[in-house]
Amino acid sequence: MNDVDLTNALERIATLERELSEYQRIETKLRENEEKFRLLVESTSDWIWEVDAHGNYTYVSPQVEILLGYSPAEVVGKSPFNFIPSEEIQHVGSEFKKCIENRLPIIALRNTNICKDGTLKILETNGVPFFDKKGEFAGYRGIDRDITERVRVEEALRESEEKFHSITASAQDAILMMDDEGKITYWNKSAEKIFGYSENEIMGWPLHDLLAPKRFLAAHHIGFDHFKKTGEGAAIGKTVELAALKKDGTEFPIELSLSTLLKNGRWSAIGILRDITERKKMEKEIKDKDEMMLTQSKQAAMGDMIAMIAHQWRQPLAIMGMDINNLIMSISLDEEITTDYLVTFSEALNQQVQQLSTTIDNFRNFFKPNQSKVEITIDEVIHNTLNIIGSSCENNNITLTIHDTSKSSLLINTSSLMQVFLNLLGNAKDMLLTNKVADAAITITVTETDEVIIISICDNAGGIPESIMHKIGQPYFTTKQEFNGTGLGLYISRSIIEKHLFGTLTWHNEEKGACFVITLKIKPDKEDVKPE
């Protein structure tokens, strides 16, 4: 071999070595890629597959066993339709056929598969066609994903939405939703009827600007800014009464229950709204009726009150008359009338005049309308009441005994509580006289706990017959026909205690007679105290 041949041979060897090195590099890269593909295939929860031009599996990843329970060997060579229920084959087959004939990718095709244990799973199939070196169609490669749970959740959500729409469509109350920008996003049929806006008219419009009276807009906007940031608000989680506007500008009262929803970090509100125009009208009618009955009760008591005043005035007038007669007699006998005597005489007269004046004030205050609330003790109210009725009881030989251990004062309408006391004491007096009770007595007992003051007014008139116990307190039911009773006293008393003084009035029998028990909160709850 000459030098030229040797050089050529060495060059060919070098070329072969380079080609071999390149082949080795490519083979190493191929093995690395195959290892990456294997790791990817085995680490994903999806099932990766390949089918030939006839639609038979030529490759399936190991995940098929996790998804369907079949080993890859049991699946390769079979068609996807071997695992699809018969009732779905026609639908799924037509979709596959459409893709294959047009060489289109398969995108998010849902299909049910039968697992080896007979259970069903819903898969989502995605695949793309692939071609051989000659450009001939060779099959599809793709991925199947188990979406059984997702479909179940979607179905549950769909059913929930259907129920929501069904309920809201049939609800008598307006149901509406507002997003984090204050715009209306849901509006049911009842909302259309109540406000006059159709769903198409109002969707996307600012709720407050359309439905709230102008005088409330500033407060609404301030509250809404706080709601956007925190999901909190004065009306959230409560039922409140507000004013709203109809499409024609009519203002009307509503009752609103408001709750919140946090979605994608943004706060929305859901409101259930009721038109309470009729209820407010009825409440006003009831209030007017109660006020009329209260007036009737006071008017009916007028005669008794005048009699009580007469009893109350008789003693001081008698004392004043006797003192004046004594003075006249002293003058007629030319007796010496000293300055000390005149001072004593004047002070005695003044004391009796003050007592008469106090009685007039109590009487006048009792009938004065729209009295404001004042801080007062129960002892003071009882004292003012006895200034009116005390002498009447005394003149009828009824012993009045008071046991008062309370110390707290109450913020109340004094006239209202006096009316209750007068009704209860008057009823007790009348029953004692009717039953001609010897040693007739009325006992007033006042006790106090940390939260309430309890006033018991008990008599020894024999008690309330059990047969009428359930009727006592009903309007116009009376047991005092001989006293021209109206049957309003106890009804009005309970109404005053419950609606105006936020307490309770109950009654029961004890050994010798009836007891009426008033329980008043020392500090009424905030929700109790409303403007009258």
- Kindly report, residue by residue over 10-21, the tens digit of the pLDDT: 677 667 667 666
Q: What is the pLDDT of residue 484?
A: 46
> Helices (H) and strands (E) in the chain — how many of each?
15, 17
Tell which residue, 409, 412, 410, 414, has the closest CA to residue 368.
414
Contact 445, 456 (CB under 8 A): yes
Whether residue 414 has pLDDT greater than 70: yes
Whether residue 238 has pLDDT greater than 50: yes
Tell which residue, 350, 182, 385, has the closest CA to residue 271.
182
Contact 125, 113 (CB under 8 A): no
Question: What are the Cα distances from residue 298, in Å, to 46, 88, 292, 305?
Answer: 86, 84, 10, 9
184-187 sheet: strands from edge to edge = 184-187, 174-178, 266-275, 251-263, 239-245
Contact 20, 13 (CB under 8 A): no
Residue 265 β-bridge partners: none
Q: What is the pLDDT of residue 120?
A: 94
Cβ atoms within 10 Å, residue 280 = 14
In the chain the first and final C-alpha atoms are separated, in Å, by 128
Q: What is the pLDDT of residue 532?
A: 46
Q: What is the pLDDT of residue 130?
A: 93
**Three-state DSSP state, 129:** strand
Tell which residue, 59, 66, 77, 42, has the closest CA to residue 116.
66
- Kindly report, residue by residue over 29-72, the tens digit of the pLDDT: 666 555 555 555 565 678 889 999 999 999 998 889 989 999 99
Contacts of range 318-327, beta carbons closer than 8 Å, 24 or more positions apart: 319/348, 319/352, 320/349, 320/352, 320/353, 323/348, 323/349, 324/349
504-509 sheet: strands from edge to edge = 399-404, 441-448, 452-459, 514-521, 504-509
Pairwise CA distance, residues 505 & 508, whole Å: 11
Higher pLDDT, 354 or 87: 87
Contact 366, 419 (CB under 8 A): yes
Pairwise CA distance, residues 418 & 368, whole Å: 12
Look up residue 327 and give its amino acid. Answer: L
Tell me the pLDDT band of 504, cut-offs 50, 70 and 90: very high
Whether residue 219 has pLDDT greater than 90: no
Tell me the pLDDT band of 1, cut-offs 50, 70 and 90: low
Q: What is the pLDDT of residue 106?
A: 92
How many Å separate Cα 466 from the centre of its chain? Answer: 40
Query: Up-side HSE of residue 411: CA atoms within 13 Å toward CB?
Result: 4
Contact 269, 227 (CB under 8 A): yes
Give me the percent of the chain exceeding a pLDDT of 90. 31
- Look up residue 391 and give its two tokens: 């002498």
CA 188-192-198 angle, to 5 degrees, is: 100
Identity of the highest mean pLDDT range in 293-302, 380-389, 427-436? 427-436
| Window from 28-32, 42-46, 173-177, 264-268 with minimum mean pLDDT | 28-32
Whether residue 360 has pLDDT greater than 50: yes
Whether residue 170 has pLDDT greater than 60: yes
Higher pLDDT, 96 or 341: 96
Stretch 370-386: mean pLDDT: 83
Q: What is the pLDDT of residue 183?
A: 92
Q: What is the pLDDT of residue 386?
A: 85
Q: What is the pLDDT of residue 196?
A: 93
Contacts of range 166-173, beta carbons closer than 8 Å, 24 or more positions apart: 171/272, 172/274, 173/272, 173/273, 173/274
Stretch 84-97: mean pLDDT: 89
- Kindly report, residue by residue over 271-314, the tens digit of the pLDDT: 889 999 988 888 888 777 777 766 666 655 555 666 656 656 66
Tell which residue, 200, 202, 218, has the closest CA to residue 210.
202
**Beta-carbon contacts of residue 395 (< 8 Å; ≥ 6 apart):** 311, 314
Stretch 258-282: mean pLDDT: 88
Pairwise CA distance, residues 63 & 73, whole Å: 12
Buried b (16+ CB within 10 A) or exposed e, 466-480: eeeeeebbebeebbe
Higher pLDDT, 352 or 365: 352
Across all residues in the chain, what is the average pLDDT?
Answer: 82
- Kindly report, residue by residue over 197-212, the tens digit of the pLDDT: 999 999 999 998 889 9
| Window from 88-92, 316-320, 400-404 with minimum mean pLDDT | 316-320
- Kindly report, residue by residue over 106-124, the tens digit of the pLDDT: 999 999 999 999 999 999 9
Stretch 473-483: mean pLDDT: 57
Contact 415, 385 (CB under 8 A): no
Q: What is the pLDDT of residue 465?
A: 87
Whether residue 140 has pLDDT greater than 60: yes
| Window from 19-28, 202-211, 457-466 with minimum mean pLDDT | 19-28
Whether residue 531 has pLDDT greater than 50: no
Q: What is the pLDDT of residue 222?
A: 86
Pairwise CA distance, residues 255 & 382, whole Å: 41
Residue 191 CB burial class (10 angstroms; 0-12, 13-18, ≥19): buried
Whether residue 483 has pLDDT greater than 50: no
Q: What is the pLDDT of residue 252?
A: 94
Tell which residue, 457, 438, 461, 466, has the closest CA to residue 513.
461
- Kindly report, residue by residue over 29-38, the tens digit of the pLDDT: 666 555 555 5
Whether residue 457 has pLDDT greater than 90: yes
Q: What is the pLDDT of residue 42?
A: 60
